[in-house]
Amino acid sequence: MADSYHNTTGEEPEEVNRRDGKAKKQEEVILKFFAEHPDEGFTPREVYAKLSWQKHGELTSLRRGMTNLTNRKQLRKTDEKRDGEKGHPETVWEFKSLTPEGTTPPTWEALCRWAATQLADLRAAISAGDITKKTDVRIAIHRIHYALENRELPEEFPPE
């Protein structure tokens, strides 16, 4: 099932899968960029310029990717606006911190238990055939790696 590519033109399943794979790779590039700049916010045009996005796709593809990542709670759309092209305001996005504001960072033990659970769930999903694309695995592992490196848990797994 395509969850990154939006089939608005009635393409055949094979073509949808191909385009979904490309869209997932684009999302991986976007997520990596934001993860490398966790304390900064960017408009889609700023990301487009900084990533030399032309080699990855069009600005609309970048916007679609940022929206998908926001819907998956990996990016956060802020209330901040910046002047964009022709003076039109553009919204700023930022990397979604994995630790909710106002909470205490988890203990290392809690983090390791969370990571072990995530890896077990990932392995089960791969074995069951629920995850078949390398990009999905990379994003899941990136999330686990980021959590361990920054000692932050996702919102759905509160610290003890």
Q: DSSP strand E in 84-143: where?
A: 89-95
The closest of 156, 154, 149 to 98, measured between CA atoms, is 154
pTM for this entry: 0.57
The domain locations on the chain are 1-96, 98-160
pLDDT tops 90 at residue 16: no
Q: Dump pLDDT digits (tens) for 65-118.
A: 999 888 888 888 999 999 988 888 999 999 876 555 555 566 777 778 888 888
CATH of segment(s) 1-96: 1.10.10.10
